[in-house]
Amino acid sequence: MMGECSATLLDLLSRRRTVRLYTSDPVPEGHVRRLLEAAVLAPSAHNAQPWRFVVIETPEVKRRLAEAMAKRWERDLRRDGVDERTIAVELRFSLRRFTEAPILLLACLDMRDMDVYPDRARRKAEWIMGVQSVAAAIQNSLLAAAALGLGACWCCAPLFCPGTVRRVLKIPRRWEPQALITVGYPAHQPPVPPRYPLEEVVIWR
């Protein structure tokens, strides 16, 4: 396991990987707190800190959440005309990923302290600022996980079924689910996914 302070930030940035499979070793509660503490150090628009988190560690709650999300996804896949075999494979993997991860962190957006505008264009810009702020917090937690020798995966599933997630976890209505972060000790070493060369994604003026 990597020591907490032995990597420079730049090392950490290239070492961090999306890890989707975990050992059954429990994640110490202190480590979970470190991830959350790292998350809330992120920059946020107006320093409004619109991030909210739910720590899901109880197996029964993980199972209920995973099953409810899978059921909802099954409906979408059927509607899309996906064949039954593929649906079964997808749902089995989805159930496993959320029930077998030792810890799930649900990241939400709460617009409570963000600015309010009368027009749609500025409301949208403000909402995007909120989403970006939550994303910055998520990235901080992923980097902290890597620093602690943990693996994590940013999963977008809750975006597709926010009502389901809210209902199962009984979270406030104004918390908008943004992502589930699965966390645990890595059970595999994922290869480095390729990146576009800078020349393709950067314009210098």
Where along the sequence are the contacts to ligand FMN (CB under 6 A)?
17-18, 20, 153-157, 190, 193
Which residues neighbour 54 within 8 Å (Cβ) at sequence distance 6 or greater? 105, 106, 108, 169, 171
Min CB(169)–ligand FMN separation in Å: 18
Closer residue to ligand FMN in complex, CB, 44/178: 178
Min CB(144)–ligand FMN separation in Å: 15
Closer residue to ligand FMN in complex, CB, 23/122: 23
Which tokens in the block code for residue 9? 């930030």
Min CB(139)–ligand FMN separation in Å: 8
b/e map 48-73, b = 16+ CB within 10 Å: bbbbbbbebeeeeebeebbbbbbeeb
Which residues neighbour 119 within 8 Å (Cβ) at sequence distance 6 or greater? none
Query: Which backbone phi and psi does 25 adopt, to 5 degrees?
Result: -60, 135
Closer residue to ligand FMN in complex, CB, 18/23: 18
Q: Please give the single-letter amino acid code of residue 159.
A: L
Min CB(47)–ligand FMN separation in Å: 23
Min CB(205)–ligand FMN separation in Å: 27
Apex CA 30: angle with CA 187 and CA 48, to 5°?
105
Q: Which residue is nearest to ligand FMN (CB)?
A: 18
Closer residue to ligand FMN in complex, CB, 90/115: 90
Closer residue to ligand FMN in complex, CB, 14/23: 14
Instruction: Could you list the beta-strand ranges (E) of the chain.
Output: 51-56, 103-109, 151-155, 176-184
